[in-house]
Amino acid sequence: MIAKEKRPDEVILQSIESAVAVKRKSSVQVPPVTPSVPSSMESVNQPATEVADSPTTVETPLTKETPMTESVHTSLLKPTNVVTKPAEEKSVSLERTQHKVAIYGCGGMGVNMAKVLNQHYAQQAPSKGRAFLETYYVDTSTSNLEGIEAQDHVYLIPNKDGSGQKRSMNASSINERIKEIVRGFKPADLNIVISSASGGSGSVLSPLISRELVRSKAPVIIITVGDRSTRKFTENTVGTLKSFEAMTKGSDARPFVMSYFENKGAQSRKEVDTKIFGVVEALLVLFSGNNEELDSQDLYHWLNYQEVTDANVQLSNLVVTSGNTPIDEDLYGGPIAVATMAGSHEVSDFNGVVDYQCIGILPKEVEALADTAMHFVITDGYFDKVIGELDKELAQIDEVKNARVSRTSLVDKNTEIDEETGLVF
């Protein structure tokens, strides 16, 4: 079953220590990754709920363009000394801008994970090799919003108090607020939407926020945790994944790229939380804006692979691997697009046939993240297997349930029931 397969990123991906001078070596090997997951981190991968006013929007002031002077001399026959220059000469800065990554924590699990990420990075010194992190919290209940200091980063769907695992319960009210949420919580250079797939609120908020971001052509990666420990959780997980797939249909649709995890199996919730933390750490470095040879358009085409390949627009899987080890295509499907992060002395080749690859060389200020290059691989043919396994599990649950003998009612036609109170005497 999918839950018992061990993903490559579960073995290889580790968190990143920042603000350490890189120790360049002439050999291919560089220091291995050391997870920087907070040692005190409790499991956040569990149902949860929300408290705040609508988000405030901070507009970026417009910068006036420098006026241009007219040409000193113009002649249709023989132009001489034609000079067109800015009224005020300004030197052009070649300094690269450090990018920002926005986390949208949706529902209980997403809010809790966003809080952990925010608390961790608030204590970290700024690093050129890692993007700034901005965290937002969106829910239908206040149950998990305690401890959030930045109240203007919280959006609470009004007049609700959770969804009680019923995805349809607040779907309409949530949908009415999506544009307002995205307008208030401005998209960044990368936007990571985190939620469970099995709850009632996050599993609706996440697809709708992701769709709004993708429609605006903002770079989006979705992190989702499925659960098959109960029939309702399994049913919700299937519905959530199919919702994402349905949103990739249409003439103007774009791919949804998802890093997917499951609770059931050998992995505890805390283990899944740690893996999610590692994925976010790695993405902060990939999207730092300071990797040599890698620009925003490279990463845009990586996520929007349909613009540079003939691959189908769909719900696609993101798996992170390293070195020269090929991914298991029988499990994950075929690679479509790869973004690679490597040190200057590392081999950056990807072991496998891929339609598109972009490569970034880590900046000198960052200690090497792994002993080999890291590959962020987008694949197809994964979620049909996941949903197939979940559907099979639902069928097995129903088979067991239907085999049970239903007991007869304790009251029958001969039982005298008081019509006013319902009491039996």
User: What is the pTM for the complete model shown?
Assistant: 0.77
Nearest by Cα to 264 from 226, 319, 318 = 226
The pLDDT of residue 252 is 80
d(CA 190, CA 114): 15
Using DSSP bridges, classify how beta strands 315-322 and 256-262 pair: parallel, antiparallel or unpaired. parallel
Element (H, E) at 375: strand 374-379
User: Could you list the pLDDT tens digit for every one of the 425 residues in the chain?
Assistant: 444 444 444 433 443 333 333 333 333 333 333 344 444 455 556 544 444 444 443 333 434 444 433 333 333 333 344 445 555 555 555 667 889 999 999 999 999 999 999 999 887 777 788 899 999 999 999 999 998 989 999 999 999 988 999 898 889 999 999 999 999 999 999 999 999 999 999 999 999 999 999 999 999 999 999 999 899 999 999 999 999 999 999 878 899 999 999 987 656 788 899 999 999 999 999 999 999 999 999 999 999 999 999 999 999 999 999 888 889 999 999 999 999 998 887 888 899 999 999 999 988 777 555 567 899 999 999 999 999 999 999 999 998 888 887 788 889 888 899 888 999 98
Can you read off the two tokens belonging to residue 390?
């979940």
d(CA 378, CA 386): 16
* C-alpha neighbours within 13 Å on the C-beta side of residue 132: 8
